[in-house]
Structure 1
Amino acid sequence: MLDYFADLTWKESIKDIIDILIVTYIMYQLILLVRGTRAVQLLKGILFLVVIWAVSTWFDLYTLKWLMNQMFTFGVVAIFIIFQPELRRALEQLGRGKLFGRSSADDEEINKLIGEMIKALNYLSRRKIGALVVFERETGLNEYTESGIKTQAVVSSELLINIFIPNTPLHDGAVIIQNKQIASAACYLPLSENPFISKELGTRHRAAIGVSEVTDAVTVVVSEETGQISLAINGQVVRDIKEESLISKLYEELRPAPSLKEKRGSFWNRRGGRGNS
Structure 2
Amino acid sequence: MAMPATDYAVRERPATNANAERIFNHMMKKLDSIPLETDPYCHYYGVGWFPDDFYADMLANLPDPKLYEPLNMRLYVRPDGESSRDQLHLTKEAIAKLPQRSQQVWQDVVDVVTRPEYRRAIFKKLAPDLALRFGTTEEAIIDKTCAYEVRLVRDTEDYKIKPHCDGLNKIVTTQFYLAPDMSQMDLGTSIYRRHKKLFGSTFEELKRFEFRPNSGYGFAVSDSREKQSWHGRKMLTNFKGVRNTLMVLFQQTSPNSYNGSPRTDKAESEY
Structure showing greater relative contact order (alpha-carbon pairs closer than 8 Å, 6 or more residues apart): 2
Larger Rg: 1
Structure-2-length-normalised TM-score: 0.26
Q: Which is richer in strand?
A: 2
Q: Which is richer in helix?
A: 1
